[in-house]
Structure 1
Amino acid sequence: MSTLQTPIEPAIAQPTPVKRLLSLDTLRGFDMFWIMGGEEIFHVLAKTTGWAGAILLADQFSHPAWNGFRAYDLIFPLFMFMAGVSTPFSVGSRLDQGTDKAKIARKIISRGLILVVLGIIYNNGLFNRVFEDMRFPSVLGRIGLAGMFAQLIYLYFRPRAQYIWFVGLLLGYWALMMLVPVPGCGAGVLTMECNLASFIDRMLVPGHLYKTIHDPEGLFSTLPAIDNTLLGIFAGTFLRTHGRTGNQKTALLLGAGAAFVLLGWLWDFVFPINKNLWTSSFVLVTGGLSLLLLAVFYWVIDVKGIKRWTFFFTVIGMNSILIYLAGEFIDFEYAARFFFGGLLKQSSSEVVTAVGEVIAFLAVKWAFLYILYKKKVFLRV
């Protein structure tokens, strides 16, 4: 089971702090900042001010109804990508030390399954649901399963075979979604009701699906999500190797990222970018953008050494799974009102009060993480 403890070194196959890449911890914290409530600043500004810029940003921090892409769609796959980046540093270092592959594999599998269980608890609570009413697919479950399979591919296959897996999953998912007929719908139909992924989930996944006929974290659409973690593994392997300068690595990451984004948008013409279905075009666009962000953070932090600003995000990134789960069990809104409610009531401006409430909420969460950081307490799975 998962435990709270003081880590001596990064856990195998876990997106925990990688000391050699401060940029990775910072980028993970930057990603989690939006998940823990940072996007609410734009929604509040849009609602209270009506500013065109605030409305535009708020729209980007929401998901499209079906096809399409917005900035908010990147947060989930970026986290999976970063779990992949850390793999060559954690698993790879164990392999270099001669650790038995079977031992590493057991750790990878156990972590993946624990994340599935934590995801079920996050969805349903501990004791308040009957089996038929439970939702089993989850964000943590997808991270666990996709990360587990990607890391096993890294563990047991050479780089060339890893690339074949990457391409095979992209093309294979595309072929299945477009060529295999769904009863009553036919082949190549990508509506919520008729696509192959939703049909398979309705047949195989127990309990209920998030949207009754479809689940955005369903079982079948987890297959292409493996590639987001694999792409992170490729990036982490590249950064871990020697022979190139930091500037050269940055340039190559930027070039690869731009190429993936372009290919993804071209593929969109025949296989729409769709987060709900985690289409192959969605994998390429989010994977490319993840590479671009990693390149920027790596260049600024690890190459140029500009690090003072990273602490705020690093505190978040080092306990990312914990803060994701904590919101279901800790009333941070009550704590924010308790500590800052009196101060906010003194403001006569609706905008200041509304934005202040969001900032107070984020401040309480960050303070909670900071206390754990100072005590060197991290959630390890």
Structure 2
Amino acid sequence: MSVVSTSPTEPAVLQPAPVKRLLSLDTLRGFDMFWIMGGEDIFGVLAKTTGWAWAILIADQFKHPEWNGFRAYDLIFPLFVFMAGVSTPFSIGSKLDKGDDKAQIARKIITRGLILVLLGIIYNNGLFVKAIQDTRFPSVLGRIGLAGMFAQLIYLYAQPRTRYIWFLGILLGYWAAMMLIPVPGCGAGVLTMECNLASYIDRILVPGHLYKTIHDPEGLFSTIPAIDNALLGIFAGSFLKAHGKTGNQKAIQLVAAGAVFILLGVLWNFIFPINKNLWTSSFVMVTGGLSLSLLGLFYWIIDVKGIKGWTFFFTIIGMNSILIYLAGEFIEFEYATHFFFGGLIKLISSGWVAAVLGVLGYLAVKWVFLYFLYKKKTFLRV
């Protein structure tokens, strides 16, 4: 891991980094990260302070379901995994085109994947060493690292047709395992938090403690299907990189493919429920379909139609997405928000305007921090 000063258009292998030919990808990454860094709180405070029905409806979409089901907030994580895949044909593909040694590329892929696992452990537990039983090892960054790592190794060593076989094999194999392999004391095909196969395997294999004691939403076994989100991103990136189709055709086909994936995922939901906690195969299909459609839409608007004036705000976030994710645990952005905006918020006194201003001030402080790093050409490279 390193914080380096480099060109903002230089692609990286695993850290989802800007790809020179796809401004849409960096914009979409920043759009995705915007909600994680506090954007969702805009609707939360509006719902709480006003009781407006539309605000409550939107705010509810920024909460995860208790177990089965899907809300917009569930897309943020798999979309990030998907985008790590999209950049692969441009970054690793360019290295292969130049004839770089595959073994050396593989070592870098594995190193970066494991560094993200380590960063995830630090994010969960802080910088100070804890007793192993008090340490949570699974993490969001860990899943991004492992899913991206295995997907990129498949891209590196497998032929295009074999990559599709891997995709289908993981999708169907996980479904078969979850439904057919019995869990002691529960039987086969039980998908409750207590009895599902993924949680059972995690309780046996994962050291330390799980997030929900008996289950971890970023557990080891349920990371396997997340590889398909990254592979789907690789397929999309390869499609966009290829010649022979116009930008309009590529955008339409991405959106159309996304619609097909969503439909198949919804149908699969009847026998294998859409569940983010278990990262079920139907969840992969729905989130993969939405990711394809969003990429197609952003690609059409930005790279095909050339409507780029609005992208700068999001690309500043997207260029340092992992850094701002980590920074929230170590930098007191709330203090800076109070310092710069506290007086104005007190002047307004109370109500929804003050509440929204507080959220916007918090977001502004984070964005200015990222803008400062951008001007210094400083980006976290993993």
Q: What range is the shorter-chain TM-score in? A: over 0.9
Contact residue 13 and residue 87 of structure 2 kept, 8 A: no
Instruction: State the Cα distance separating 1:12 from its structure 2 match.
Output: 2.4
User: 1:317 — aligned with what?
Assistant: 318
Q: Are 1:3 and 2:32 counterparts?
A: no
The residue correspondences of 1:12-161 to structure 2 (distance < 5 A) are 12-127=13-128, 129-161=130-162
Write the distance in 2 (CA, Å) between the matches of 1:47 and 1:309. Answer: 29
The count of aligned residue pairs is 380
Write the distance in 1 (CA, Å) between the matches of 2:343 and 2:367. Answer: 20
Write the distance in 2 (CA, Å) between the matches of 1:36 and 1:129. Answer: 27
User: 1:264 — aligned with what?
Assistant: 265
User: 1:215 — aligned with what?
Assistant: 216
Write the distance in 2 (CA, Å) between the matches of 1:188 and 1:167. Answer: 20
One-letter amino acid matched to 1:329:
F
CA deviation map 1:199-247 (0-9, x unaligned): 0000000000000000000000000000000000000000000100000
Secondary structure of 1:221 counterpart: helix
Contact residue 45 and residue 351 of structure 1 kept, 8 A: yes
Instruction: State the Cα distance separating 1:122 from its structure 2 match.
Output: 0.2
Instruction: State the Cα distance separating 1:68 from its structure 2 match.
Output: 0.0
Bigger CA drift: 14-23 or 320-329? 14-23
Instruction: State the Cα distance separating 1:11 from its structure 2 match.
Output: 2.2
Contact residue 13 and residue 91 of structure 1 kept, 8 A: no
Instruction: State the Cα distance separating 1:369 from its structure 2 match.
Output: 0.2
Secondary structure of 1:172 counterpart: helix
Contact residue 69 and residue 273 of structure 1 kept, 8 A: yes
Bigger CA drift: 10-19 or 212-221? 10-19
One-letter amino acid matched to 1:275:
K
Q: Structure 1 unaligned segments of length 5 or more: list them.
A: none
Write the distance in 2 (CA, Å) between the matches of 1:60 and 1:10. Answer: 33
User: 1:377 — aligned with what?
Assistant: 378
Write the distance in 1 (CA, Å) between the matches of 2:6 and 2:288. Answer: 30
Instruction: State the Cα distance separating 1:177 from its structure 2 match.
Output: 0.2
Contact residue 14 and residue 145 of structure 2 kept, 8 A: no
Task: Please identify runs of 4+ aligned residues in structure 1 that moved more than 3 A.
Answer: none
Secondary structure of 1:379 counterpart: strand
One-letter amino acid matched to 1:203:
I
Q: Structure 2 unaligned segments of length 5 or more: list them.
A: none
One-letter amino acid matched to 2:81:
M
CA deviation map 1:229-282 (0-9, x unaligned): 000000000000010000000111011000000000000000000000000000
One-letter amino acid matched to 1:5:
V
Instruction: State the Cα distance separating 1:130 from its structure 2 match.
Output: 1.5
CA deviation map 1:59-99 (0-9, x unaligned): 00010000000000000000000000000000000000110
Write the distance in 1 (CA, Å) between the matches of 2:38 and 2:14. Answer: 27
Write the distance in 1 (CA, Å) between the matches of 2:349 and 2:116. Answer: 45
Instruction: State the Cα distance separating 1:129 from its structure 2 match.
Output: 2.2
CA RMSD, 1 decimal: 0.7
Write the distance in 2 (CA, Å) between the matches of 1:32 and 1:260. Answer: 23
Write the distance in 1 (CA, Å) between the matches of 2:127 and 2:83. Answer: 29
**TM-score, structure 1 normalization:** 0.99
Secondary structure of 2:380 counterpart: strand
Instruction: State the Cα distance separating 1:14 from its structure 2 match.
Output: 2.9
Write the distance in 2 (CA, Å) between the matches of 1:61 and 1:67. Answer: 15
The residue correspondences of 1:345-360 to structure 2 (distance < 5 A) are 345-360=346-361
Identity of aligned residues (%): 79
Contact residue 235 and residue 291 of structure 1 kept, 8 A: yes
Instruction: State the Cα distance separating 1:128 from its structure 2 match.
Output: 5.2
